[in-house]
């Protein structure tokens, strides 16, 4: 369970990331490399620390529980971001790192450096632009579900051993219909990063540890979560 958010750098991207997490009541800590960014973050009321890029980052484990921390590497320079990512990964094997890259090439390097997720700014933006031309309704829908603060939500549930869904087949599940929920996909714990979508997974057997991805109204989702545990 993520409780602490560490943001490295304080540019426009870092500001947006920080403000989104502050809105959701997370503890946000900003690390910057220069005095100017330090002053900017401080004047925005953030908890900020001035650090060196070649720091050993031991303070992180002293101050936080690594399991509850997520790091956002959002430095302006891609090379510095790669160095930061690899430094953090070298020190903490299990820390969760999300890195912001300029292009797809830099994102690939950040993944190699150990980032769990690398977001390429240019490609992500271009994809959203083209998607909004090709599938405007889908984009509107995604904005409603993912970004807008509306009742309709995406959720994911880890199937426990004692769950009613353990050892059942995807096509046999009817429980969700009682709660007005749509099951989108299942992420198999054995097939890392692979999804079986309900449209193709007739023969998929759900095991404990699999992650069920669903969509529904907030109230229905809560009731459904109780029902499957």
Binding site for another protein (CB under 8 A): 2, 5, 12-13, 15-17, 19-21, 24, 70, 72, 98, 100, 103, 117, 119, 121-138, 140-142, 144, 146-147, 152, 154-156, 180-182, 184-185, 187, 193, 195, 197-200, 211, 213, 215-217
Select 58 or 177, whichever has its Cβ closest to another protein: 177
> How far apart are CB 123 and another protein at their closest, in Å?
6
Select 127 or 160, whichever has its Cβ closest to another protein: 127
Paired tokens of 121: 């700014």
Determine contact, residues 74/12, Cβ cutoff 8 Å.
no
The upper half-sphere exposure of residue 176, i.e. CA atoms within 13 Å in the direction of its Cβ, equals 20
Paired tokens of 129: 């632009």
Q: How far apart are CA 229 and CA 216, in angstroms?
A: 17
Select 58 or 79, whichever has its Cβ closest to another protein: 79
Q: Is 211 helix (H, G, I), strand (E, B) or coil?
A: strand
> How far apart are CB 131 and another protein at their closest, in Å?
7
Q: How far apart are CA 96 and CA 229, in angstroms?
A: 27
Paired tokens of 88: 């953090």
Select 80 or 124, whichever has its Cβ closest to another protein: 124
> How far apart are CB 192 and another protein at their closest, in Å?
11
Please, is 136 exposed, middle or buried when counting C-beta atoms within 10 Å of its C-beta (0-12, 13-18, 19+)?
A: exposed
> How far apart are CB 145 and another protein at their closest, in Å?
8
Q: How far apart are CA 75 and CA 86, in angstroms?
A: 14
Select 82 or 100, whichever has its Cβ closest to another protein: 100
Q: Which of 68, 26, 23, 73 is nearest to 53 (CA)?
A: 73
Beta strand pairing call for 27-32 and 96-101: unpaired
Select 89 or 217, whichever has its Cβ closest to another protein: 217
> How far apart are CB 112 and another protein at their closest, in Å?
19
> How far apart are CB 206 and another protein at their closest, in Å?
14
């Amino acid at each position: 369970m993520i409780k602490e958010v560490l943001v490295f750098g304080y540019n426009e991207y870092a500001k947006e990331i920080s403000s989104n997490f502050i809105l959701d009541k997370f503890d946000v800590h900003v690390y910057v490399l220069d005095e100017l960014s330090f002053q900017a973050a401080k004047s925005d009321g953030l908890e900020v620390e001035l650090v060196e890029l070649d720091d050993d980052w031991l303070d992180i484990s002293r101050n936080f529980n690594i399991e509850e921390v997520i790091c956002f590497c959002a430095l302006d320079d891609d090379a510095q971001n790669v160095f930061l990512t690899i430094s953090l990964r070298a020190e903490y094997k299990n820390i969760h790192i999300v890195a912001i890259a300029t292009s797809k090439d830099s994102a690939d390097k950040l993944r190699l450096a150990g980032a769990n997720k690398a977001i390429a700014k240019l490609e992500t933006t271009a994809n959203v632009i083209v998607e909004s031309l090709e599938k405007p309704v889908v984009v509107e829908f995604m904005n409603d579900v993912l970004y807008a603060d509306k009742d309709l939500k995406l959720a994911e549930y880890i199937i426990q051993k004692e769950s009613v869904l353990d050892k059942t087949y995807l096509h046999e599940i009817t429980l969700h219909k009682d709660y007005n929920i749509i099951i989108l996909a299942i992420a198999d714990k054995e097939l890392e990063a692979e999804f079986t979508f309900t449209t193709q997974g007739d023969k998929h057997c759900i095991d404990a540890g699999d992650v069920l991805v669903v969509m529904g109204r907030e109230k229905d989702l809560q009731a459904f979560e109780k029902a499957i545990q």
